[in-house]
Structure formats: C-alpha cells, structure tokens
Amino acid sequence: MSSELKTLTRKQLSKKLAEKHKTFLEKYMKEFDFLHKLLVLEEKQDLLEHWIKDARDEDDGKKVKEYMKQKKRNDDEISEIRKGLSDLNKKEEYEVKQRYEFLKDHMDSHREAIDYWTSRQNERERT
C-alpha cells in the first residue's frame, strides 16, 4: 500500500472512489451513445433495403431513387460512427449488440457505485 493511500481519510477515499467511477461512466457513456446510434442506423438500413425492394417490385422508380438517396446518407452516417468507434477502441473487436448490453450493465453498476460512495462521503461530512 502506498503512503498516499495510508494518509487518505475515509471521506477522501470515498471521494476518490466516486470520481473513479464517474470517469469510467463517462467513457462508457460515450461509447454507448455511438453504439446506440449505430444500432438505430442499422435498423434503418434494413428498413430502407426492404422499402427499395418493395418499390422495385412495384416498379416505382421515383420511390426507388428516393430510398437509394436515404440509404446512401445512412451508409455515410454508419461509416462515420464506425470510425468514431474505432477511434475510441483502437484495439478492441467486438459484436456490437453484445458490447451495447455490456456497457449498459456496467454503466448501471458504476452509477450505483457513484451513489454509494457519494452517500458515504456525505455521511462522513455529517459525523
């Protein structure tokens, strides 16, 4: 145990632990937001592909063209988000939905820890 840790009061330790969890939470939330947007855009992509197929079956060139434009914009957004994700996680490869659930669970855990350590810190102030 380092001498710095030995000299921390309980209140200081509680504060440092709450700050540590806040740091993790901020990092996870940023990645979670990217993943959430990506999942929504991938669902939109599936819908657009379905609509394009239906419009082609109906021989509606105007709708096909409109949906293709939307699909292109959606493709560009997906690429941009994937680039942002790769910048955040240079070494990590993962399945998007699994990572999304992992982050959701861990963010909840860090929120609970922040609440706990903040309350402990507040208890120390009252005593």
- What type of residue sits at position 103? L
Residue 1 lies in a domain: no
Q: Is residue 8 part of a domain?
A: no
Can you tell me whether residue 105 is helix, strand or coil? helix
Whether residue 4 lies inside any domain: the answer is no
- pLDDT tens column, 26-37: 988 988 898 999
User: Mind listing the pLDDT tens digit for each residue in 46-102?
Assistant: 999 999 999 999 999 999 999 999 999 999 999 999 888 887 775 566 678 888 888
59 domain residue, yes or no:
yes
The mean pLDDT of 108-125, rounded to a whole number, is: 81
Q: Is residue 2 part of a domain?
A: no
Range of the domain at 49: 35-126
Instruction: Tell me if residue 59 falls in helix, strand or coil.
Output: coil
For residue 82, being part of any structural domain is answered with yes
**What's the total number of domains in the chain?**
1
* Residue 30 maps to a domain: no
Residue 95, in any domain of the structure: yes
